Amino acid sequence: MLMARQPQGFIKSPAEQAAMRTAGRLAAQVLDMIGPRVVPGITTGELDQICHDYIVGELNAIPAPLNYRGFPRSICTSVNHVVCHGIPGPRTLRTGDIVNLDITVIKDGFHGDTSRMFQVGACSIQARRLCRVAYQALWRGIGIVAPGRTLGDLGHAIQQFVESEGYSVVQEYCGHGIGRAFHEDPQVLHYGTPGSGMVIEPGMTFTIEPMVNAGRRQVKLLGDGWTVVTRDHSLSAQWEHTLLVTADGVEVLTLGADERAPS
């Protein structure tokens, strides 16, 4: 089977890798900061404003989503059956909600991109399990990343695990290369065939961000042109990390302060 090689222009130099580490660390800091504030009674708009002020005022960075292709806010807030790209606004979080906060910052011209699931108060067993499986799926994908493997290997590992747990993987949205641009090549699918797709090489930087649905994988785009929801209104969960491929494996650039790779 033919396997595509990464175009040389997308391999990051040591200086670019260092800049990516900084951007990734700052994006993770935003999630660490906002986590304790994700409580019943707060609105998604308030979470957005807190993050915006922190990114701009404390980190001296730029919130990448703001005005990106017309997106009107500084973060994405995707609640319950919203799969991705939820627009912050007047919605008040309630006990039992699950919410994905997606943060991307630009620091010194480079992007760091990460998202995390938060449980609002006491959540159902089903919601907690979905969030856990989605997190494990992310790390199944990360565990595949190494020079010589392919993006198809990565996608297959995620899909196989998620479906074995009785859930489904969204196929319309995917991870992506990242660096000076928010979205670069290659596309990183969360499903696929082993041995297919681009060969993973040292110096590549990309995100893995599987969207896992409790029901069927089909989604639809709402009239605002951004918000994506599950067609069957089942819950959806997503986690995301930005990665750097190293000579012998992978470095996760967006680890939270208390986060370690699952054993």
pLDDT in tens, the chain (263 residues): 333 444 445 799 999 999 999 999 999 999 999 999 999 999 999 999 999 999 999 999 999 999 999 999 999 999 999 999 999 999 999 999 999 999 999 999 999 999 999 999 999 999 999 999 999 999 999 999 999 999 999 999 999 999 999 999 999 999 999 999 999 999 999 999 999 999 999 999 999 999 999 999 999 999 999 999 999 999 999 999 999 999 999 999 999 998 877 75
pTM summary value:
0.94
User: Contact at 8 Å (CB) between 2 and 150?
Assistant: no
Tell whether 175 is covered by a domain.
yes
User: How far apart are the C-alpha atoms of 104 and 30, rounded to whole Å?
Assistant: 9
User: How far apart are the C-alpha atoms of 254 and 139, rounded to whole Å?
Assistant: 13
Strands (E), the chain: 62-63, 76-79, 82-84, 98-107, 110-119, 168-169, 175-177, 184-188, 205-208, 211-213, 219-221, 228-230, 236-238, 241-245, 250-252
Tell whether 23 is covered by a domain.
yes
Instruction: Give which of 120, 44, 82 is closest to 211, Cα–Cα.
Output: 82
CATH of the domain at 213: 3.90.230.10
Tell whether 258 is covered by a domain.
no
Distances (CA, A) of 258 to 30, 57, 135, 212, 255: 13, 24, 15, 24, 8
Tokens of 12: 């990051």
User: Contact at 8 Å (CB) between 158 and 238?
Assistant: no
User: How far apart are the C-alpha atoms of 7 and 22, rounded to whole Å?
Assistant: 24
Domain range for 180:
8-251
pLDDT at residue 228 in the model:
98
Peptide bond into 186 cis (omega under 30): yes
User: How far apart are the C-alpha atoms of 137 and 164, rounded to whole Å?
Assistant: 11
The tally of domains found in the chain comes to 1
Tell whether 261 is covered by a domain.
no
Tell whether 1 is covered by a domain.
no
Q: Which residue has the tokens 């900084």?
A: 22
User: Contact at 8 Å (CB) between 218 and 232?
Assistant: yes
Give buried/exposed letters for 43-73 (b at 16+ CB in 10 A, else e): ebbbbbebbbebbeeebebbbbbbeeeebeb
pLDDT at residue 260 in the model:
77
Instruction: Give which of 262, 240, 244 is closest to 253, Cα–Cα.
Output: 244
Tell whether 260 is covered by a domain.
no
Tell whether 3 is covered by a domain.
no
Tell whether 131 is covered by a domain.
yes
